[in-house]
Amino acid sequence: MSGAPAASGNDSATPGTRAETQAVSNGVRDQIPVGVIAPFDFALDRELWRWVPDDVTLLLTRTPYVDAPVSVELAEAVSDTDDLGRATRELIAVAPRCVAYACTSGSFVDGVDGEQRLVAAMRASGAPQAVTTSGALLAALSALDISRVALATPYVEALTSRLSDFLAEAGVETVGSAGLGLQSEIWKVPYEVTAKLVADTDSPAAEAIFVSCTNLPTYDLIAPLEAELGKPVLTANQVTMWSALHSAGSKAIGPGQRLLNSG
């Protein structure tokens, strides 16, 4: 016996039956695979999933560990195109619709051309679509028609300056910035510290706030901060998932987050 339920002959007897049947193949709900390449972060493994609908599966792999403090030098080390290509090839066997490089500093440290080289390396290694966190940020700013931002980062000043330079190259003005000066254990920053940093960084000149670093948890802060400040609050993991899922033919979820309702 197959154990399958008998058909009722009446779709209206079980609301949603037809839709459920169409969404299920051989007893398993069809899934959209999305590949994620990360350096040795500790926040994104649990946080990225919060933007993911039920029909998407994230498939994560990592670039090699680099024993160095968070700095410009580390960002350059984790943006090696050979490492990124190798990580992409590890994911291709499961046929992801898109591969995302989930690292902000690693994708902005060498400017707009550097970000494009990372995308090209992933595409050359078999990714059908490829995005980076910093490229996703530019796409999000464009979608919201934003050209002036304030930056809230956990970084030292030299790394925050590289982010500002990256945005300037893309035609986005940084009207203010503040950093926590951290070089390790960024994933341990409490929500209240991040919220204060964002509020302190805001100014009337800023059309939006960007909270940098995929290693900094932000999901639960976005909606309340947007309500308090009256403007979009974009975060590294949020824009990464928004862009990657869109490229994969899906849509990120997150109550009250302006970016996700931008169309």
Please report which helix (H) or strand (E) contains residue 146, including its range: none
Q: pLDDT (tens digit, 9 = 90+) per residue, 244-258?
A: 999 999 999 999 999
Q: Does residue 215 contact residue 41 with C-beta atoms inside 8 Å?
A: yes
In which domain, by residue range, is 137 found?
30-252
Write down the H helix ranges in the chain: 17-23, 44-47, 72-77, 81-92, 104-108, 111-124, 133-143, 157-169, 191-201, 219-229, 236-247
Q: What pLDDT, on a 0 to 100 scale, did the predictor assign at position 40?
A: 72
Q: Is the pLDDT of residue 136 over 80?
A: yes
Asked if the structure places residue 258 within a domain, the reply is no
Q: What pLDDT, on a 0 to 100 scale, did the predictor assign at position 22?
A: 43
Q: What pLDDT, on a 0 to 100 scale, did the predictor assign at position 263?
A: 64
Q: What pLDDT, on a 0 to 100 scale, did the predictor assign at position 121?
A: 98
Asked if the structure places residue 15 within a domain, the reply is no
Q: What pLDDT, on a 0 to 100 scale, did the predictor assign at position 41?
A: 63
Asked if the structure places residue 263 within a domain, the reply is no
Q: Does residue 112 contact residue 135 with C-beta atoms inside 8 Å?
A: no
Q: What pLDDT, on a 0 to 100 scale, did the predictor assign at position 44?
A: 80
Domains: count for the chain: 1
Asked if the structure places residue 124 within a domain, the reply is yes
User: Taking all residues of the chain, what is their mean pLDDT, rounded to a whole number?
Assistant: 89
Which letter does DSSP use for residue 170 in this model?
T
Q: Does residue 178 contact residue 193 with C-beta atoms inside 8 Å?
A: no
Q: Is the pLDDT of residue 6 over 60?
A: no
Asked if the structure places residue 40 within a domain, the reply is yes
Asked if the structure places residue 22 within a domain, the reply is no
Q: What pLDDT, on a 0 to 100 scale, did the predictor assign at position 260?
A: 96
Q: pLDDT (tens digit, 9 = 90+) per residue, 151-196?
A: 999 999 999 999 999 999 999 999 999 999 999 999 999 999 999 9
Q: pLDDT (tens digit, 9 = 90+) per residue, 25-61?
A: 444 568 999 999 998 767 788 899 999 999 999 999 9
Question: Average pLDDT for residues 60-81, to the nearest whole number?
Answer: 89
What's the CATH code of the domain at 196? 3.40.50.12500
Asked if the structure places residue 257 within a domain, the reply is no
Question: Average pLDDT for residues 227-250, to the nearest whole number?
Answer: 98
Asked if the structure places residue 85 within a domain, the reply is yes
Q: Is the pLDDT of residue 10 over 60?
A: no
Query: Which of 41-45, 68-72, 85-89, 215-219 shows the lowest mean pLDDT across its residues?
Result: 41-45
Q: What pLDDT, on a 0 to 100 scale, did the predictor assign at position 30?
A: 84
